[in-house]
C-alpha cells in the first residue's frame, strides 16, 4: 500500500539527511557516533515501516493512516488527521523541502543567502532564500 504519507515521509527523510547531518556532526563531534546515530534512527525507521506494513495488511483499504485512525479510535480522529495532513503536515513538508532547495542553491549562487534581505516589512523579512523557496513552490504547483 502506497499513499501520500509515504511520499511526505520520504521527502522529509530525503531533505533531512542533507540538512540535519551537519548539525548532528557538530553536536556529536565524532564520525563514529554520527554513524551510530544514523544506524539507530534507521532501525527505528525500519520498525515503523514494518508496523505500517502490518496495518496495511490488516486493513487493505484506501486511505492509509486515515483508515487506521478511523478504525482504531473513531471517525472524528480520522477526519481530524485528514485535515491536519492537508493543512499542516504536507504543507510543512513542502515548505521544508523548498527551503532546503533554496539553501543548497545558495551554495551554487552566492547571491542567494539568508543574509541577503530582499524585502524588509519591519516585522517580517524576506531573504533571497525565501523568495527562491516560494518561487519553487509556485512554479511546481
pLDDT at 75: 92
The total domain count for the chain is: 1
**Average pLDDT of 98-110?**
89
**Average pLDDT of 93-109?**
88
pLDDT at 80: 94
Q: In degrees rounded to 5, what are phi and psi of residue 120?
A: -115, 110
**Average pLDDT of 77-100?**
89
Q: In degrees rounded to 5, what are phi and psi of residue 9?
A: -65, -45
pLDDT digit string, tens, across residues 25-56: 888 888 888 889 888 988 998 898 888 888 88
Q: Which domain holds residue 43?
A: 4-140
User: Is pLDDT at 1 greater than 50 in this prediction?
Assistant: no
Residue (of 90, 112, 116) closest to 102 by Cα position? 112
pLDDT at 138: 94
Amino acid at each position: 500500500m502506497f499513499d501520500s504519507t509515504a511520499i511526505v515521509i520520504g521527502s522529509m527523510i530525503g531533505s533531512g539527511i542533507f540538512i540535519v547531518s551537519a548539525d548532528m556532526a557538530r553536536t556529536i563531534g565524532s564520525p563514529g557516533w554520527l554513524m551510530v546515530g544514523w544506524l539507530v534512527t534507521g532501525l527505528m525507521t525500519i520498525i515503523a515501516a514494518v508496523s505500517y506494513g502490518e496495518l496495511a495488511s490488516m486493513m487493505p483499504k484506501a486511505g492509509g493512516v486515515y483508515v487506521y485512525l478511523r478504525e482504531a479510535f473513531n471517525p472524528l480522529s480520522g477526519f481530524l488527521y485528514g485535515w491536519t495532513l492537508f493543512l499542516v503536515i504536507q504543507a510543512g513538508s513542502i515548505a521544508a523541502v523548498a527551503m532546503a532547495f533554496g539553501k543548497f542553491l545558495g551554495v551554487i549562487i552566492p547571491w542567494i543567502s539568508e543574509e541577503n534581505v530582499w524585502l524588509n516589512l519591519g516585522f517580517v523579512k524576506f531573504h533571497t532564500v525565501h523568495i527562491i523557496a516560494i518561487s519553487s513552490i509556485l512554479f511546481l504547483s
